[in-house]
Structure 1
Amino acid sequence: MTDAKPYLSCLQEGRWFQTLPDGLRQALRDAAVVRRLPAGQRLFARGDAPCGLYCVVEGAMRVSVVGESGKEALLALVEAPNWFGEICLFDGQPRTHDAYAEGATVLLQVPLAPLQALLAQHPEYWRDFALLMSHKLRITFAVLEELSLLPAAPRLARRLLMIAEGYGESATAKRELHLPQEQLAAMLSLSRQTTNQILKDLEAQGIVRLSYGGIEILDGERLRQAAHA
């Protein structure tokens, strides 16, 4: 556990982890091992066997799937202090997507065996993991609704806010997003040109500032207004 101690403060920043019973928080801390991935390294692939639960404490993980055409669909960038991998804990089925390190990334992994032993001893903790999964499900439904009903501009603004707020996990919103426009376009199923034009419009209004590989949110309140336009 000594190796994971420098990252415990990051764990404490996550809203899900904050709400856990003391015993479960301590058990996850005790079982956690550090995984360091260089940029581009795959953590697991679609179809791989379950391997436990993960929390991003530095960097980000790219969650995606490659279709039959060979085209990659980017679903999410998972950043600190988000947890992922809980679906397989419930059904024991193979991984549903690919997960790659987006830049040098540090994870805390709670391996499957100690997780299963913990839940066998404390079945009341299943509810806490169910809450983690239900939060992801709510986000998925919201994204699908936006994809079906919203024009491109407010959909993009909402996604920027969602990423800045750590998909509801971060206690404080980030101002600077390390997010290339190509990746943002892929997440929103928009063309690179459309994404760039919307971002340029937001920049002209003083709402964001664009840089190479990044987006800085200058006015969160006006971005929220744009998300509901």
Structure 2
Amino acid sequence: MSPAPPPREKPSFWRSFPLFQDLPDAVLADIDALATLQRWAAAEVIFQRGDAGAWLLALKSGRVRLSLITQAGRELTLRHAEPGDTLGELALFDQDPRSADATAVLDTTGYVLARRSYEALASKHPALTMGVARYLSRRLRETTEQLESIALYPLEARAARFLLFTLRQLNGLDLPSRATLRLEISQTELATVLGASRPKVNRALLALAEAGALNKGPHGWDCDIPALQALAEPDAD
């Protein structure tokens, strides 16, 4: 007797990914039928910069660090991907190599969708191409905002903007007046994202706390959203 196939995901699972959230059930059912579940152990490399990019990864559990190695041998963390994030979207459109390293921080599972499967789906469901295009446009705007923060804002404002960006990823655009953020990266990794040294980032976080925007609690940072927003735009007045 052959083993039973693994249970498939419901449409609500696939809609938890911004890349697929606006797609009809028929498209999501076809994605579910073609995607394959894979697992990586903590510290295992999922792909490296320069590898052939031929598939997209939709994270179901765990955490993945996206990073670059500089010529001096330093690792620059670009971001951490959590369940509900996708990696390697550009591989669906081009045949260029991977532009960063992806490493599992925790034991990680995710669904892999090959480019050839995406192309077959896109020819059958034009809505898929439009959904991916909208998602990539949002990601481009987010990248522009991050670069603007590093280039134009003082460190305290960059830290506040990063915290607000992370809170919006977790809670949506309409943030409450207060929210708790469990920051799952070290200060060293945060320093690479903000383009500063670890001691300077530590002082910036202390400055945000002294301003009443942050309070370290047992479950993470208790964030005063209006205070963070004011600090994120120091020249707004």
User: How many aligned residue pairs are there?
Assistant: 227
Cα displacement string for residues 92-151 of structure 1 (whole angstroms, at most 9, x for unaligned residues): 211111111122222222223321221233345322211221111111111111222111
How big is the shift at 1:46? 0.9
CA, structure 1 residues 91+16, in 2 after alignment: closer, same or farther (shift >3 Å)?
A: closer
Distance 1:137 1:168 in 2: 20
How big is the shift at 1:38? 1.7
Residue 154 of structure 1 corresponds to which residue in structure 2? 157
Residues 1:2 and 2:6 aligned together? yes
Residue 144 of structure 2 corresponds to which residue in structure 1? 141
CA, structure 1 residues 220+13, in 2 after alignment: closer, same or farther (shift >3 Å)?
A: farther
Residue 223 of structure 1 corresponds to which residue in structure 2? 228
Residues 1:176 and 2:182 aligned together? yes
What is the RMSD of the two structures over their aligned residues, measured on CA atoms?
2.7
Give 1:180's aligned amino acid: S
Distance 1:11 1:26 in 2: 9
How big is the shift at 1:196? 0.3
Contact 1:162 1:168 in 2 (8 A): no
How big is the shift at 1:197? 0.6
- With 115-124 and 56-65 compared, the bigger mean Cα shift is at 115-124
Residue 77 of structure 1 corresponds to which residue in structure 2? 80
Larger Rg computed on CA atoms: 2
Residues 1:106 and 2:112 aligned together? no
Is there any run of 5+ residues in structure 2 with no aligned partner, and where? none
How big is the shift at 1:215? 4.6
Distance 1:76 1:171 in 2: 22
Is there any run of 5+ residues in structure 1 with no aligned partner, and where? none
Contact 1:36 1:105 in 2 (8 A): yes
Residues 1:37 and 2:43 aligned together? no
Distance 2:37 2:210 in 1: 43
Residue 122 of structure 1 corresponds to which residue in structure 2? 125
Please, what TM-score do these two structures have when normalized by structure 2? 0.83
Residues 1:132 and 2:138 aligned together? no
- With 28-37 and 42-51 compared, the bigger mean Cα shift is at 28-37
How big is the shift at 1:3? 4.5
Distance 1:75 1:181 in 2: 14
Trace 1:184-199 onto structure 2 (pairs within 5 A). Answer: 184-199=190-205
Please, what TM-score do these two structures have when normalized by structure 1? 0.86
Cα displacement string for residues 72-111 of structure 1 (whole angstroms, at most 9, x for unaligned residues): 1111111221222111211121111111112222222222
Distance 2:8 2:44 in 1: 21
